Amino acid sequence: MNLDDFSDLIERPDGGVRRDAEERRERFSVPPGALGRLDELGAWLSAAQQAVPVRAVEQPRVVLFAGDHGVAELDVSGRGAGTAHELVRATLDGATPLAVLARRFSVPVRIVDAGLDCDPELLPEAVVRTRVRRGSGRIDVEDALTAEEAEAAVRLGVAVADEEADSGTDLVVLGDLSVGGTTAAATLIAALCGTDASVVTGRGGAGIDDLAWMRKCAAVRDSLRRARPVLGDQLELLATVGGADLAAMTGFLLQCAVRRLPVVLDGVVGAAAALVGQRAAFRAPDWWLAGQLSGEPAQAKALDRMALNPVLDHGVIVGEGCGALLALPFVQAAAALAAELPEREPVAQEDGTDAGKGDAED
């Protein structure tokens, strides 16, 4: 598998349709610019759907990729190594912020086990049946995945994207349930942006103290040394310093772009997978929306590189897709306004014709 092959399969959202949507917006009774980013989002959705007026977002879905990272053994996370399955269980039980919001917004949640480090019996078979391997390797001293596992994880993401597109999902909110994932994500972003470890290392959704942050910086630094020699091959990069969840998310994002399925990104893990995807297919980010600014410096670096402007900046750092889901009502509002606001009545000229219309034929 070569991720660069996606470049030939991905087209940009329809520019002609976007111009039609923008011209229609200029005829609304509400002045252009009065709705701020809602206008921009409505035009983006029109181009993605190839529809003017835009259709309502009626079948959104949250998709969460789950995995454990061996680097968490270095105490770089606020959670213990190998405990991502607890996040999965809490989400399934409706006891996480994401689960509460999804229930309130009536959005179904799908959890995909790409690399959890737990006995499969602890979770429903529908979750664990997709697992590529049990946990990802400790990326500061060993590869996260074998080449075969990296390819299998990308193919898993592609398959999930196809299933969502085929089932009628019209917008995806993408998130992760991982422990150690922000360390791997920071490494990928630092490698792809040519940045030092201290510039991209944050404190994660669970929060860490200063000593843990220094350990995390060291882990990213050591992992970067292993990443730089393989920068020319995105799949090898994911195998070396990524992880099963990150590789699956990369495949998912690329295939969503192939299938013209818009995606709202959440935090730094999704941003890292997206940045790898952009490296493979430069048109792919046109299908993605940054839902929020998570406060992770690596995420801000990746979004800037992809020219993605976050919809929200509200200080939500919990991760797990929560911040991106909060952006969903904003996107749905943009679609409703673009579709339902009335156009101005034509202005009658003195000769009785409508302004802007050509002369009628004799």
Q: Which token pair is 215?
A: 């350990």
- Catalytic site includes residue 340: no
Q: In angstroms, how far is CA 152 from the centroid of its own chain?
A: 20
Phi, psi of 295 (to 5 degrees): 95, -10
Catalytic residue (choose from 320, 340, 343, 345): 320
Q: Using alpha carbons only, what angle is made at residue 200 by residues 199 and 205, rounded to the nearest 5 degrees?
A: 135
Q: Which of 358, 216, 178 is nearest to 298 (CA)?
A: 216
- As a whole number of angstroms, the distance between CA 29 and CA 26 comes to 8
> Pick from 16, 223, 209, 54: which is nearest to 136 by CA?
223
Listed residue (172, 360, 189) closest to 254, CA to CA: 172
Phi and psi at residue 343, to the nearest 5°? -85, 155
Identify the CA nearest to 280 among candidates 157, 108, 178. 157
Contact 273, 254 (CB under 8 A): no
Q: Which residues does the annotation mark as catalytic?
A: 320
